[in-house]
């Protein structure tokens, strides 16, 4: 009873809240990091050093007037933000935050569930999210969002393929689709896949940037071109849902990258006994720390780079990343057989 219902529910509650709070503070972090990069202070008024800014942001978005444009398709317009957000949240079901720990004498895995097709689940669920963007652009019945949603669909299709290729080669290397299994495989083989397969790591990261619509691939929302893109017509809480979805997706990509390439909850060089003193840091902290590194790089890139153009993005996707991805699958498969 406890194992079947209470524990999973508790985990869902904890993870969901952690993610949502994490997202709001992610927004603060983004504003702060970019402000530091740009020689300014960022939010400073709400709380010490603006630490309470996320609360003010959320309150503001909740009390804002929620406008539905007269010519919008009301049902789709309402559904689109949910379609964007829900997949971003349910992906966390398979993210392994840490190894088994014992809480009050009970063995608990620090993941809501460990599906044996975990990676497949991640790929399929994250690709649903783009429907939210496409439908939002279409339902707004406005030209800028429409252009943005066309960009989004083209972008997602191109990068989905490259990223999936990389995931395939990870599965080949690890011999399992389970997220926890992949971390175990990295432990067994004694190397994080970021070092074993650096090319795959780079391609995955670029693909991840493109899939989450982050700079320099933030074309669907390119503020300077499409005035906000797909969420131009959105306001209030519905806009906030898109916002949440974007940041939740960033966290998802960072979590997946951590799992696949940086050994998840493993400490650095887990097989080297000289470094075993690092074991005092619990696994979930390693996991969150590594995820944070990725998130920070996301922000850092946004503060540094200009934006690619839509056709250039497609060119990189189809002519560079996908061939590299396929080559990576072939090479890792051949090596797997030979070694």
Partner 1 sequence: MAPESQPMFDTDEIVLNMGPQHPSTHGVLRVVLRLDGERVVGSDVVIGYLHRGIEKLCENRDWTQIVLLTDRMDYVAAATNNVGYCQTVEKLMSIEVPRRARYLRTIMCELQRIASHCLWLGTHAMDIGAMTVFLYAFRERELILDLFEEYCGARLTYNSMRIGGLPLDIPPGWDKKVLAFCDIMDTKLVEYEQLLTHNRIWLERTKGVGVISAEEAVAIGLSGPPLRGSGVKHDIRKDEPYAAYDEMQFEVPVGEAGDTYDRYLVRIEEFRQSVKIIRQAIEGLPEGPITGKVPRLIKPPAGETYHAIESPKGELGYFIAADGKSTAPYRFRVRPPSFCNLQALPRLIQGHLVADVVALIGSVDVVLGEVDR
Interacting residues with partner 1 (CB under 8 A): 34, 37-40, 143-144, 147, 150-151, 215-216, 218-219, 222-227, 302-312
Tell me the closest approach of the beta carbon of residue 227 to partner 1, in angstroms. 6
Q: Strand runs (DSSP E) across the chain, as ranges?
A: 98-103, 106-110
Residue 102 DSSP label:
E
Nearer to partner 1, 48 or 306 (CB): 306
Nearer to partner 1, 26 or 85 (CB): 26
The tokens describing 164, both together, are 């999936």
Tell me the closest approach of the beta carbon of residue 316 to partner 1, in angstroms. 10
Tell me the closest approach of the beta carbon of residue 300 to partner 1, in angstroms. 11
- Taking only Cα atoms into account, the Rg of the chain, rounded to an integer number of angstroms, comes to 20
Residues in contact with 321: Cβ distance below 8 Å, sequence separation at least 6, in sequence order: 158, 159, 162, 203, 206, 207
- CB-CB contact of 328 with 166 (8 Å): yes
How would DSSP label each residue in 211-229?
HTT-TTS-GGG-HHHHTTG
Nearer to partner 1, 164 or 227 (CB): 227
Nearer to partner 1, 96 or 229 (CB): 229
CA 318 – CA 116 distance, rounded (Å): 30
Tell me the closest approach of the beta carbon of residue 141 to partner 1, in angstroms. 13
Tell me the closest approach of the beta carbon of residue 240 to partner 1, in angstroms. 21
Tell me the closest approach of the beta carbon of residue 216 to partner 1, in angstroms. 6
Is the Cα dihedral 9, 184, 333, 208 positive or negative?
positive
- CB-CB contact of 259 with 239 (8 Å): no
Q: Of 339, 336, 338, 337, which Cα lies nearest the Cα of 170?
A: 336
Tell me the closest approach of the beta carbon of residue 304 to partner 1, in angstroms. 7
Nearer to partner 1, 106 or 309 (CB): 309
CA 196 – CA 252 distance, rounded (Å): 22
- Angle, alpha carbons 270-275-281 (nearest 5°): 75
Nearer to partner 1, 2 or 39 (CB): 39
CA 54 – CA 46 distance, rounded (Å): 9
Tell me the closest approach of the beta carbon of residue 309 to partner 1, in angstroms. 5
Nearer to partner 1, 38 or 124 (CB): 38
Nearer to partner 1, 95 or 226 (CB): 226
The tokens describing 84, both together, are 């964007």
Residues in contact with 303: Cβ distance below 8 Å, sequence separation at least 6, in sequence order: 33, 34, 37, 38
């Amino acid at each position: 009873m406890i194992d079947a219902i209470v524990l999973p529910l508790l985990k869902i509650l904890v993870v969901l809240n952690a993610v949502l709070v994490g997202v709001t503070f992610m927004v603060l972090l983004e504003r702060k990091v970019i402000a530091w990069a740009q020689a300014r202070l960022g939010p400073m008024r709400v709380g010490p050093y603006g630490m309470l800014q996320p609360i003010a942001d959320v309150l503001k978005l909740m009390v804002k007037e929620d406008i539905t444009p007269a010519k919008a398709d009301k049902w789709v317009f309402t559904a689109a933000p949910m379609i964007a957000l829900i997949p971003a949240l349910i992906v966390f079901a398979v993210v392994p935050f840490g190894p088994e720990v014992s809480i009050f004498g009970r063995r608990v895995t620090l993941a809501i569930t460990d599906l044996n097709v975990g990676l497949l689940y991640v790929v399929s669920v994250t690709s649903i999210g783009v429907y939210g963007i496409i439908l939002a652009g279409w339902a707004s019945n406005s030209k800028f969002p429409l252009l943005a949603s066309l960009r989004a669909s083209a972008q997602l299709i191109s990068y989905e393929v490259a990223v999936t290729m990389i995931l395939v080669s990870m599965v080949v290397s690890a011999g399992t689709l389970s997220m926890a299994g992949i971390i175990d495989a990295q432990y067994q083989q004694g190397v994080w896949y970021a070092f074993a397969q650096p090319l795959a790591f780079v391609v995955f990261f670029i693909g991840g940037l493109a899939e989450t619509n982050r700079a320099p691939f933030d074309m669907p929302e390119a503020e300077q071109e499409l005035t906000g893109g797909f969420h131009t017509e959105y306001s209030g809480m519905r806009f906030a849902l898109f916002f949440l979805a974007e940041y939740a997706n960033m966290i998802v990509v960072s979590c997946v990258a951590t799992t696949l390439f940086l050994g998840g909850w493993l400490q650095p060089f887990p097989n080297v006994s000289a470094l075993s003193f690092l074991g005092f840091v619990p696994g979930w902290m390693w996991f969150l720390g590594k995820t944070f590194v990725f998130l920070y790089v996301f922000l850092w890139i946004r503060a540094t780079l200009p934006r690619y153009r839509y056709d250039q993005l497609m060119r990189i996707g189809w002519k560079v990343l996908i061939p590299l991805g396929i080559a990576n699958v072939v090479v890792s498969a051949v090596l797997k057989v030979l070694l």
